[in-house]
Amino acid sequence: MLPRMNTKDNQSKTSFAGERIAKRLARCGVCSRRDAEKLIESGRVAVDGKILTTPALNVTEDQVITLDGKPVAAAEESRVWRYHKSAGTITTSRDPQGRPTVFEKLPHEMPRVVSVGRLDFNTEGLLLLTNDGELARHLELPQNAWLRHYRVRVHGEVDPAKLKSVATGVTISGIRYEPVKIEIEKGKEEGTNSWLAVTIREGKNREVRKIMDHLGLQVTRLIRTAFGPFPLGKLPRGGIEEIPRRALREALGKFFEKDKKKK
């Protein structure tokens, strides 16, 4: 059994050097910073052979980090992929219910990646994946949030006045949602079903579905068509394509500049 690290003994060496262990794990693509903290608290992470008991620790490039006894690879250059998620898959690495996960569907040659936010089980369309958990966190922060665009097929009577009622935001079950833009796609009616174009900024849990329910509409299909400047385009269902480095830098210049200064 590995010894447990006394972070107070290590503090003098690392307080003014390196970076927080959870952030390092996130940059290495292990998981998000929040999930990294959970891994540490459960005793699965060790530094230089000593198990951590708290994420309140800085680490340097010279220290060896292991997860479940296996070395964590050094952080690589930040990369992002567009992935066309199918309905009937869950955005998690493991599912207690045994449902198929997004990560099981990825090509074997893919590096370890995390998702930028999530799409629920029955939602399809664009999902961004990255090998940099810190970048994923940056994209998910409310102040950095990009617009998310969806196509939504709904069942029920579509009332334009009701659609406009959420244009300045809405509170549902005590949760405040920021302004939502909803437009009817003309000529896309399918019997009692209609297609709507929906744009949101926050991406809270099941936000689009809850707003449609609030408007008295039943969602029969939900597709994310774009996340910020990155469109789903003609990417086939289950398809994956890396975003070129130049396009990343154009869209995320501030993030890369900040990361460069820290180095």
If you average pLDDT over every residue of the chain, what do you get?
87
pLDDT, tens digit, for every residue of 54-109?
999 999 888 999 999 999 987 778 899 999 999 999 998 888 888 999 999 999 88
**pLDDT reported for residue 19:** 85
Averaged pLDDT, 179-187: 93
Top pLDDT among 11 and 4 is at 4
* % of the chain residues with pLDDT over 70: 90
pLDDT, tens digit, for every residue of 131-177?
888 888 888 876 776 899 999 999 999 999 999 999 999 999 999 99
9 catalytic, yes or no? no
Q: What is the CA radius of gyration of the chain?
A: 21
Widest CA span of the chain, in angstroms? 69
Averaged pLDDT, 257-263: 55
DSSP, res 146: P
Contact (CB, 8 A) for 1 and 84 = no
Residue that the structure tokens 């994310």 belong to? 224
Contact (CB, 8 A) for 53 and 16 = no
Contact (CB, 8 A) for 137 and 35 = no
Residue 166 backbone phi and psi in degrees, to 5: -100, 5
Q: What distance in Å separates the CA atoms of residue 238 and residue 85, rounded to the nearest whole number? A: 6
List C-alpha distances in Å: 254 to 144, 188, 258.
10, 39, 6
pLDDT, tens digit, for every residue of 196-216?
999 998 888 999 999 999 999
* 132: nearest Cα among 207, 36, 57, 31: 31
> Of the residues 35, 62, 120, 132, which is catalytic?
120
**pLDDT reported for residue 3:** 62
Domains of the chain: 7-71 (3.10.290.10), 80-143+230-262 (3.30.70.580), 147-227 (3.30.70.1560)
Q: Which ranges constitute the DSSP H helices of the chain? A: 7-14, 21-27, 33-41, 133-140, 160-164, 207-214, 245-251, 253-262
Query: Taking the complete model, does pTM exceed 0.85, yes or no?
Result: no
Name the pairing type of β-strands 124-130 and 218-227. Answer: parallel
